[in-house]
Structure formats: C-alpha cells, structure tokens
C-alpha cells in the first residue's frame, strides 16, 4: 500500500515558492487570503478596496519572498506586516476615510427591526470610536480582536514584546472605552476582554 500523500507543510510551500514554484505560492495564498482580507477590510472599511489591497499584499509578498527567512518571524506575521504597510500607504496616498459602519450590514433573520437598528447603531458607534484612535491602537485592536491573533502572534507582527502588546492593548481598550463613553455607548466595553 503506497503511503498517503499529506498536504505539504507551510515551510515546504515557502521553500518551493522561493524557488519559483507559483503553485506553491498559490497554496500559501489560499491558506492566508481570508485572514489578510479580513484584516485589511477592518482597516479600510470598503469591500472592493479591501479586495484590491489584499491582492496587493500578496503581490508584494511574492515579489519579496526571497527576502523572507523562516527563522525570523512566522509567515503569517510577515504577511500582516506587509498588509499593515499597504494600508498605511493607502492612507498616505488618499487622506479620505471611509466610515466602516456604512459598509457593515448587520442582518440576522431572527432579529426584528428594533434589534437590527440597535445592532447597527452599536457597530456604528464602535467603528466611529475606533476610527478616532491612533494608528497603533487601531492596529493592535484589529490584530487581536478582528484577526484573532494571540498576544504572541500580535507581538511578532508589531515587532514588540508580548508585554508591550499587552500594555498597548490595555491602553487602546481604555481609549476606546472613553470614546464610547463620550458617545453614550459604554455598554460595549464595560470590562476589558480577557487575554
């Protein structure tokens, strides 16, 4: 009986892609596209722009792949760094900010119109408050709570220690809580999320 063929590891795919194997890079793309798209979307708030920027992230990753070293940072952290830089470049080139709340559709068939309105208002308040925070605060909150990265993963993306990420997250949540309090929406962050 021939041995079962298992999916190649990420390390194997990276090595093959660095040798010019476009199919291996395509597999890496498939593995990471959803997470990178989600991260970019929550930073720019526009579906089509997030799609374009996510594609830009992978194009830049392909072009710089030979500079990536496995021992330095995980591949996903490297991609998040590229994504962050792409988003920052986007804001440098275009100073307009698209409100995220106008792009989010809250729909749950079980909810009535009042619940949907309340949910939409809460999301709108949260995104307005988030948009008023510094770029560092937005970045750490997006990585931790939208992308779902651990403190360790977030530290690798940001190039900081885990303790520095915890402190930054704490300060960002306090700043977000204060913004929400000013808008009368403090129930969103009554307590800090557990680590």
In tens, the pLDDT along 10-29 reads: 999 999 999 999 999 999 99
User: Tell me, what CATH number does 63's domain have?
Assistant: 1.10.1740.10
Of 67, 98, 129, which closes a domain? 98
Domain stop point among 47, 76, 98: 98
pLDDT for residue 186: 56
pLDDT attached to residue 116:
47
pLDDT at site 157: 87
Structural domain includes residue 57: yes
Contact 123, 113 (CB under 8 A): no
Are 16 and 8 in contact, with CB atoms under 8 Å apart? yes
Q: Which domain holds residue 84?
A: 9-98
Query: Does the pLDDT of residue 49 top 50, yes or no?
Result: yes
**What pLDDT digit, counting tens, does each position of 55-91 carry?**
999 999 999 999 998 877 889 999 999 999 998 888 7
Question: Quick one: which of 184, 170, 171, 169 has its CA closest to 122?
Answer: 184
Angle at 8 between CA 72 and CA 70, to 5 degrees: 5
DSSP state of 102: G
Tell me what pLDDT residue 94 has.
Answer: 67
Do the Cβ atoms of 22 and 40 come closer than 8 Å?
Answer: no
Please report the pLDDT score of residue 105 as a whole number.
42
How many domains is the chain partitioned into structurally? 2
Whether residue 47 has pLDDT greater than 70: yes
Backbone angles phi, psi at 62, to 5 degrees: -60, -45
Residue range 100-158, pLDDT digits in tens: 444 444 444 445 555 544 556 666 677 778 878 888 898 898 888 888 888 998 998 88
Report which of residues 21 and 93 the model is more confident about.
Answer: 21
Residues 120 and 169 in one domain: yes
The CATH number for 133's domain is 1.10.10.10
SS3 173: helix
Checking if the pLDDT of 46 tops 60, the result is: yes
In this structure, are 81 and 143 located in the same domain? Answer: no
144 and 187 housed in the same domain: yes
pTM across the whole model: 0.67
Note the pLDDT tens digit of each residue in 144-175: 888 888 899 899 888 899 999 999 999 999 99
Q: What is the reported pLDDT for 61?
A: 96
pLDDT at residue 86, rounded to an integer:
93
193 and 152 part of one domain: yes
Considering the domain boundaries, does residue 47 fall inside one? yes
The H or E element spanning position 109 is none
């Amino acid at each position: 009986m021939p041995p079962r063929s298992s999916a190649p590891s990420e390390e194997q795919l990276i090595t093959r892609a660095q040798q010019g194997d476009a199919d291996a890079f395509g597999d890496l793309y498939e593995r990471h596209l959803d997470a990178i798209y989600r991260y970019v979307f929550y930073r720019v708030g526009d579906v089509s722009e997030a799609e374009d920027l996510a594609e830009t992230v992978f194009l830049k990753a392909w072009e710089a792949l030979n500079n990536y070293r496995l021992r330095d940072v995980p591949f996903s952290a490297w991609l998040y760094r590229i994504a962050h830089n792409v988003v920052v470049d986007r804001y440098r080139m275009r100073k307009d900010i698209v409100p995220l709340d106008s792009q989010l559709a809250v729909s749950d068939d079980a909810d009535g119109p009042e619940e949907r309105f309340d949910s939409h208002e809460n999301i709108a308040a949260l995104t307005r408050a988030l948009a008023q925070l510094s770029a560092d605060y937005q970045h750490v909150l997006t990585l931790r709570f939208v992308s779902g990265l651990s403190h360790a993963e977030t530290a690798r993306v940001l190039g900081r220690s885990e303790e520095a990420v915890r402190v930054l997250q704490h300060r960002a949540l306090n700043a977000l809580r204060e913004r929400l309090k000013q808008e009368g929406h403090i129930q969103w962050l009554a307590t800090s999320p557990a680590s």
